[in-house]
Amino acid sequence: MQNQILPHLYRTEYRKIIAVLARIFGFEHIQIAEDIASDTFLLASESWTDGKQPPNPTAWLYTVAKNKAKDYLKHNAVFDQKVSAHLKTQTQDSEELNIDLSEANINDSQLQMMFAICQPIIPAEAQIGLALRILCGFSIDEIADAFLSNKETINKRLFRAKEKLREQQVKIEFPNNNEINRRLETVLLTLYLLFNEGYYSSSGNTNLRKDLCLEAMRLTYLLVQNPTTDVPQVNALFSLMCFHASRFEARIDKNGDIIIYEDQDSSLWNEELISRGTHYLICASKGDKLTRYHLEAAIAYWHTQKADTTEKWENVLQLYNKLLILEYSPMAALNRTYALAKADGKEIAIVEAEKLTQLSGHHLYHSLIGYLYKDINNEIALQHLQTALKLAKTSQEKNQIKKSIKNLN
């Protein structure tokens, strides 16, 4: 039982303990918070043996973490430097620090940590790495796997990021109302990238890391639930995530290989998530601000509509047109060509796709052009698919391209 429950609790409770303790210690002493949380789980692994697991394991972890934090604060200089003033405002009768691990305080602490981590002063990959470590409870090994890197590189990256946050004296607190919109943009981008790292994962020969996606959704939902950050663009991002997540089960086959959109079994699409995505997309329609998340969520909505009609693809095409005007990216332009093929025919789409030569080093570029040339010029289609096969990184990507090559014959 211990072997089963501890990894689960590490994933769900480590991040909560870290967020609350880091809020008390601040970035200048965040390593202490991480050490206390790690020591708590180490003690659990040593104590919960031979059927000695406590009746309420979560409460046990919280109690141990609280006691370790209080002991540290009482016996180290950081107590006077960092916490004594806080204690005086907290209570006049006792010097007992209230380490609050209630659900409400955990959520507040995670929100504050989210805004502290998502700073443009550190690189995007460092923001995601810190979010995975502190807010999601991922191990260094898991983060290294997600970034196709190694432990040493990740440790150095996170160390540099923490040092930068210390140097800039970034506080772990919720921004004031005047600053919330400026900071929120960076937070949403970090969560968007975190979700994409899972959804389009090329790590460890795994093309879909549900754990990353679900963590991004959990953190975004915290923003939705908070009145200050329950704004249209947050609802739009959460809607986008729900629509994408609704097709998880249909996107990967039993062998872990990719199933392209038009071959997916739509009966496997999660109707509850589609309904939630629609609800939050409606919530996002308030106000007059249009963001990339609104447009991408609307595109994802149409992808959850099962009927393969010209109207559907014409709507997707128009949404991509608006997205490219609002915020151009070559990959969005490439995705647009698929909608263009479905709405207006492959010949027109080929002309547009072949203009995107800046993507010629990416397997998706050649895979899509190979798809477009199928049954028009199978020889050219084969050339592009063979190039895509050479550029693909994971075995799942390679298997999907091989299937496409086989279907040419």
- 111 and 33 in a single domain? The answer is no
pLDDT at 254 (0 to 100): 85
The rounded distance, in Å, linking the Cα atoms of 18 and 134 is 6
The answer to whether residues 3 and 83 belong to one domain is yes
Q: Is the pLDDT of residue 389 over 90?
A: yes
Q: What is the pLDDT of residue 56?
A: 93
Q: Is residue 302 part of a domain?
A: no
Residue 204: per-residue pLDDT:
47
Return the pLDDT at 174: 84
Judge if 62 and 142 occupy the same domain.
no
Do 22 and 128 belong together in one domain?
no
Q: What is the pLDDT of residue 91?
A: 41
Please check whether residue 45 lies inside any domain of the structure.
yes
Domain presence at residue 23: yes
pLDDT digits (tens, 9 = 90+) for 277-287: 999 999 999 98
Q: Are residues 124 and 77 in the same domain?
A: no
**108/200 same-domain check:** yes
> pTM score, two decimals?
0.84
**Which pLDDT tens digit goes with each residue over 315-362?**
999 999 999 999 999 999 999 999 999 999 999 999 999 999 999 999
Say if residue 32 is in the same domain as residue 54.
Answer: yes
Q: What is the rounded CA–CA span in Å between residue 33 and residue 83?
A: 14
User: What's the pLDDT at 95?
Assistant: 45
Instruction: Tell me which residue range forms the domain holding 113.
Output: 102-230
Q: By the 8 A CB rule, do 105 and 22 touch?
A: no
Cβ count within 10 A of residue 366: 24
User: Residue 208: is its pLDDT beyond 70?
Assistant: no
pLDDT digits (tens, 9 = 90+) for 10-20: 888 998 999 99
Tell me which of 183 and 4 has the higher pLDDT.
183
Same domain, yes or no: 87 and 167: no
- The residue among 181, 213, 230 that closes a domain is 230
Which is more confidently placed, 102 or 387? Answer: 387
Last residue of a domain, one of 175, 197, 230: 230
Residue 242 lies in a domain: no
Residues 176 and 108 in one domain: yes
In this structure, is the dihedral angle defined by the CA atoms of residues 378, 381, 386 and 389, taken in order, positive or negative?
negative
Best CA proximity match to 365, nearest among 339, 391, 393, 328: 391
- The count of structural domains within the chain is 2
At 42-98, the pLDDT tens digits run 999 999 987 788 999 999 999 999 999 988 887 775 555 555 555 444 444 444 567
Q: Are 156 and 182 within one domain? A: yes
Q: Is residue 299 part of a domain?
A: no
pLDDT at position 92 is 41
Query: Domain end: 95, 124, 142, which one?
Result: 95
Question: CA separation (Å) from 289 to 85, 231, 320, 324?
Answer: 42, 10, 17, 16
User: Worst-scoring range by mean pLDDT, 171-180, 234-243, 394-403?
Assistant: 171-180
- 153 has pLDDT over 90: yes
The three state secondary structure string of the chain is CHHHHHHHHHHHHHHHHHHHHHHHHCHHHHHHHHHHHHHHHHHHHHHCCCCCCCCCHHHHHHHHHHHHHHHHHHHCCHHHHHHHHHHHHHCCCCCCCCCCCCHHHHHHHHHHHHHHHCCCCCCHHHHHHHHHHHHCCCCHHHHHHHCCCCHHHHHHHHHHHHHHHHHCCCCCCCCCHHHHHHHHHHHHHHHHHHHHHHHCCCECCECCCHHHHHHHHHHHHHHHHCCCCCCHHHHHHHHHHHHHHCCHHHHECCCCCECCHHHCCHHHCCHHHHHHHHHHHHHHCCCCCCCHHHHHHHHHHHHCCCCCCHHHHHHHHHHHHHHHHHCCCHHHHHHHHHHHHHHHCHHHHHHHHCCCHHHCCCHHHHHHHHHHHCCCCHHHHHHHHHHHHHHCCCHHHHHHHHHHHHCCC
Say if 285 falls within a structural domain: no
Residue (of 96, 21, 94, 104) closest to 61 by Cα position = 21
* Whether residues 129 and 177 fall in one domain: yes
